[in-house]
Amino acid sequence: MGTVMAEATSVTGAGVRGSRARGRAWALRGTQILMALFFAFSAAPKLVGHASAAESFDEIGWGDWLMYAVGVLERAGAVGLVVTLLAGAASLGLTGLMIGAFITQMTVFDGEHAATPLICAAPLAAIAWARRRSTPELFGRLRTRD
């Protein structure tokens, strides 16, 4: 009887752990999708050269090329976030982009919207951490293609 009870307890424990793992996986995937949507929409005004984006990048003083480059990086990062194998690398790249945006906000715009890149960087860092095993796998696959 003790063996049956122990087996029942371990099965129940595994069920709880399994449901927690599924819940974390859904939360991670949901965060990836939300961040992908954010960056896809954020890239749009930069890619079409909308006046609101152009004014900000003119104030930075590096010209339109930077606006288009940031737009392309944001859009590529958004796509990468929804591809599981690319999500770790994409979130690392977007975190770097957000660090650059924070520095720009602090130095060029006197910290006017400095919190936004930091708020975006937090879930991106969490995604990078959660997908940390897929990043070396991605680079390993790229290396074997040569």
pLDDT confidence of residue 16: 61
Q: Is 71 exposed, middle or buried (0-12, 13-18, 19+ CB in 10 A)?
A: buried
pLDDT confidence of residue 9: 44
Average pLDDT value over all residues in the chain: 88
pLDDT confidence of residue 146: 57
Give CA angle at 37 (97, 26), nearest 5°.
Answer: 105
| Each residue's pLDDT tens digit, 75-119 | 999 999 999 999 999 999 999 999 999 999 999 999 889 999 999
Identity of residue 142: L
For residue 121, name the pLDDT band (cuts at 50, 70, 90).
very high
Q: What is the mean pLDDT of residues 16-40?
A: 91
Predicted TM-score (pTM) of the model is: 0.81
pLDDT at 3 over 80: no
